[in-house]
Amino acid sequence: MPTSLENINDTIFDLLETSEIDDLSSRINRNLQILAQISLSDMVLFFSISSDNFMNFEQGYINIPDRPSPNIIFSNIFPPVFLPEIRNKEIKTPAEICAVNNELFNTSNLYKDKSIDVTPYKSLDEELNYFTVSLLAFPIYSSKKSLLGVIQLINPRNSTGKIIGFTKDIIKKLNSASKLLAIQIELEHQTNSYNRLLESFIEVIAKAIDNKSPYTGEHCQKVPVITRMLASAAIAATSGPFKNFEMSENELYSLHIASLLHDCGKITTPDYIVDKSTKLETPYNRIHEIRDRFEILRRDAHIEYLQKRLNNVDTKENLQAEFVEKVKKLTDDYNFIGKCNIGDYPLTDNDLTRLDEIAKSTFLRYFSRMVGLSWNEKKAISDSKLYDSPQEEHLLEDRPEQLKFLYNQGELTNLKIRTGTINSEERNKINDHISTTIDMLKDLSFPPELSNIIEYAGAHHEHIDGSGYPNGLTGDQISIPAKIMAIADVYEALTARDRPYKTPKKLSQVLSIMRDMKNTGHLDPDLFDLFITSGVYMEYAKEYVAKDQLDDINPEEYL
């Protein structure tokens, strides 16, 4: 350590080495020590300027043997100051003068200077059993000339230990040395600012994906919550499969960003597919079109009945019975189609046969189907004459204009979906959102320390048994963070009560489904067991799941 101004070379090296210290607080502390050593000052204080124009005491250093830095005392003596509020204050402290006027302040006899407020220094001297004589305060700036803070030094000494004033030579050296501190603070501010910008941009994307559909709620905001909880539980484990599991700060941050962006590819998925609550749904539920056809058939049956009565084809009683039977069959068939349209009802082979039989029923169409079609829809119709003139039409069918879309919208094809509401083309499009997510993330220039984001986000639909997508990875090929996100994604989706394609599930139902997914090779069994034993499932549920979904749970049943 240097002991005089002449012996400064070692201090220059010390200054350069401060940039290698990890956290800003420690770098500031080391810089303050060096400034004290350069000027042989007893004390150095640093006041930071916040973005909202507050001057705050940040750190202090006492260069007196056997005297620790009493930052708590400094904080009480120098409370935060709102700079616009003190601009017109008649008498200011040296730090306030620097911050408000952007000028250096130097005095060799503090208490004789009537132009300044010495109140804090009286308190300081009293607390430390000390006496302040000389004081120097000067502002430090960013490269863009914005005020970063104020440095204040007290009582410099000569080689014999006598208190002296701050000379021009000392001030020049202090100014030069403080520039490195200004650079380090500015870099830290810029890094934090860029990180906030990146994260806020990512959160905007996540919210946009959630808001794209009125039903997805806050999926992209809630998955990170569960992910963080389960990752923390794995890191904290002291026994079992995760006792040696660790994640660095960068890996945890990557997992957080990945969990926010895990569904960003859905921005290219049509809304009606994401939200498809019934099999006949496109932008609207087409069950109403089919109902209209049943209305026509019922009316036709009534007309036929009246005509037969008029022509005395049979007795009134027989004709009425025939009409009632037809109406009953139409009602039963329509109710059956309505049941098939709901994805919760799994179809059997007999159900598919019955749909085909119902589809054979016909009605007479009088008005042209070509009227009101777009040019693009007309292109799909090979024989427009059949659509123009009155024709018999099937009650259910896959019409040409329904098949022209990227995703099969044929009525009969969609009604014959065995389980759920999504047909194979739509399922492929939904699954494709992961490939789109990966492609979108690859286009973002993440720094090397965040390169894991793509793998974490891109693998959350992979399964332990290799049956997942997009790459069919097996358990050993999937990272633990990606497996964590897979559990978070499933748990949030199952506990959500705003999905149009399912009714809200009780917590016991959710955990039973996830247990089955574990047993069939979809979810990592060790992580799912940790999910239960650590209580993460309940910690999240108490905060984010509706109370009427919370039922009695015996955790042992799900292990």
The predicted-structure confidence for 143-174, as pLDDT tens digits, reads as follows 989 999 999 999 999 989 999 999 999 999 99
For tokens 């484990």, name the residue. Answer: 237
What does the pLDDT average to over 129-155?
94
Helix (H, G, I), strand (E, B) or coil at 450: helix
Give the separation between CA 137 and CA 151, rounded to whole angstroms: 6
Over the stretch 306-317, which tens digit does the pLDDT of each residue have? 999 999 899 999
Helix (H, G, I), strand (E, B) or coil at 59: strand
Over the stretch 2-26, which tens digit does the pLDDT of each residue have? 444 444 445 444 544 554 556 788 8
Residue 12: per-residue pLDDT: 46
Residue 86: per-residue pLDDT: 92
Give the separation between CA 148 and CA 181, rounded to whole angstroms: 10
Helix axes of 249-261 and 480-495: crossing angle, nearest 10 degrees: 40
Least Cα distance to 290 among 120, 155, 414 occurs for 414
Residue 303: per-residue pLDDT: 93
8 A C-beta contact, residue 285 and residue 278: yes
Residue 85: per-residue pLDDT: 93
Hey, what amino acid is at 531? F
Helix extents (H) in 237-315: 249-261, 271-274, 287-310
Helix extents (H) in 89-167: 94-101, 119-128
Over the stretch 176-197, which tens digit does the pLDDT of each residue have? 889 988 998 998 888 888 888 8
CA dihedral 35, 40, 41, 43 (to 10 degrees): 70
pTM: 0.63
Residue 266: per-residue pLDDT: 75
Instruction: Give 214 or 545, the one with higher predicted confidence.
Output: 545
8 A C-beta contact, residue 42 and residue 155: yes
Residue 215: per-residue pLDDT: 53
Residue 370: per-residue pLDDT: 83
Q: What percent of the chain has pLDDT over 70?
A: 93
What does the pLDDT average to over 246-259?
93
Sign of the four-CA dihedral 389, 392, 395, 400: negative
Give the separation between CA 197 and CA 118, rounded to whole angstroms: 41
CA angle 375, 378, 382 (to 5 degrees): 145
Helix axes of 480-495 and 219-236: crossing angle, nearest 10 degrees: 130
Over the stretch 364-416, which tens digit does the pLDDT of each residue have? 888 888 888 777 777 777 777 778 878 888 999 888 777 766 778 889 999 99
Per residue, the 3-state secondary structure of 10-49, as one string, reads HHHHHHHHHHHCCCHHHHHHHHHHHHHHHHCEEEEEEEEE
Over the stretch 277-305, which tens digit does the pLDDT of each residue have? 788 888 768 888 888 888 999 999 999 99
* CA distances (Å), origin 170, targets 148, 164, 262, 516, 520: 22, 11, 56, 74, 74
Secondary element (H or E) of residue 56: strand 54-62
Secondary element (H or E) of residue 154: strand 147-156
Give the separation between CA 333 and CA 337, rounded to whole angstroms: 6
What does the pLDDT average to over 436-452?
85
Helix (H, G, I), strand (E, B) or coil at 294: helix
Residue 6: per-residue pLDDT: 47
Question: Chain-wide mean pLDDT for the chain?
Answer: 87
Least Cα distance to 455 among 484, 433, 478, 430 occurs for 478
Sign of the four-CA dihedral 404, 405, 408, 411: negative
Give the separation between CA 207 and CA 304, rounded to whole angstroms: 57
Domains and CATH numbers, the chain: 9-191 (3.30.450.40), 213-270+426-558 (1.10.3210.10), 287-421 (no CATH)
> Residue 50: how many CB atoms within 10 A of its CB?
12
Helix (H, G, I), strand (E, B) or coil at 460: coil
Phi, psi dihedrals of residue 364, rounded to the nearest 5°: -95, 120
Give the separation between CA 323 and CA 138, rounded to whole angstroms: 100
> Residue 230: how many CB atoms within 10 A of its CB?
27
Residue 78: per-residue pLDDT: 94
Helix (H, G, I), strand (E, B) or coil at 161: coil
8 A C-beta contact, residue 44 and residue 155: no
Is 127 a residue whose pLDDT tops 50? yes
Least confident interval from 263-267, 296-300, 475-479: 263-267
Residue 8: per-residue pLDDT: 46
Length of the chain: 559
Q: What percent of the chain has pLDDT over 90?
A: 56
